[in-house]
Amino acid sequence: MAHWVIVPAAGIGARMGSITPKQYLPLGGQTVLGQTLHRLASLPGLSRIVVALHPEDHFWPELELPAGVSVSACEGGSQRSQSVLNALQSLQDEAGDDDWVLVHDAVRPCVRVAEIATLLRDIAGHPCGGLLAVPVSSTLKRRDEAGNVAATLPRENVWQAATPQAFRAGLLRHALESALLRGAEITDEAAALELVGYSPRLVRGSADNIKITYPEDLDLAELILAAQQRETARAAD
């Protein structure tokens, strides 16, 4: 079964406090997006990576793309769901409805290829697909309007969603179109599948698959990438 990767990268990263979109900030000798694409490109059996870009993105032409895999770009939308749908539509003549489509955040450069392979194995017989996620370990608080603690929330069976999230191409397209028609605010692809009645599988991933959101996350990503490189070198010895 073919599988494809979509990387929504049309955001401007306002919370980073940088003029440069966070996906183009420097990281480990490349950019954040460059690191992410090179990591994804090492996934065996990959058909293509499609990156959804902001209409005025002028950084993309300068990006060093990974060799040995097809990488194309399409215009993104104002919402993540529209960006992913645009990318799906750009693949409509190539990707079959039953092919797996993996959607991965542009700013998760530390994802482990072995965990993506585990995700694909675990969802092989699932009716819709699933996502990498991590069980919540910290105590959860709900805040009131004044900024004070309103309640302590139970964390049993609560997981923090990550990416990639992998779903059948036809089903994902239908779910995203339905969400957009309803005007539903969805922050990930799994939520769109839930809206049309599916229950995606949670596949445990590593906590080091961080999403770069704030300036301090860049330093943490540098440390994680260096640690992963040392781990790979030890395994090769």
Q: 37 to each of 15, 115, 142, 179, how far by Cα in Å?
A: 22, 16, 36, 28
Q: Are 57 and 155 in contact (CB under 8 A)?
A: no
The answer to whether residue 112 is domain-embedded is yes
Domain of residue 218 covers 3-132+163-198+206-236
Residue 148 lies in a domain: no
Is 141 among the domain residues?
A: no
The single-letter DSSP state of residue 111 is -
Q: What pLDDT sits at residue 12? A: 72
Residue 38 maps to a domain: yes
Domains in the chain, number: 1
pLDDT digits (tens, 9 = 90+) for 34-64: 999 999 999 998 999 999 999 999 999 999 9
CB-CB contact of 198 with 127 (8 Å): yes
pLDDT at 2: 76
CA distances from 105 to 77, 138, 152 (A): 15, 23, 30
DSSP string, 145-184: TTSSEEEEEP-TT-EEEEEEEEEEHHHHHHHHHHHHHHT-
Any idea what the CATH number is for the domain that residue 108 is in? 3.90.550.10
In a domain, 185, yes or no: yes
174 lies in some domain: yes
Summarised one tens digit per residue, pLDDT across range 188-210 is: 999 999 999 999 999 999 999 99
- The answer as to whether 146 is a domain residue is no
- List, for the chain, all residue ranges whose pLDDT scores fall below the cut of 70: 1, 13-18
Among 156, 134, 125, which Cα is nearest to 202's? 134
Alpha carbons 74 and 60: distance in angstroms, whole number: 11
Q: Is residue 149 part of a domain?
A: no
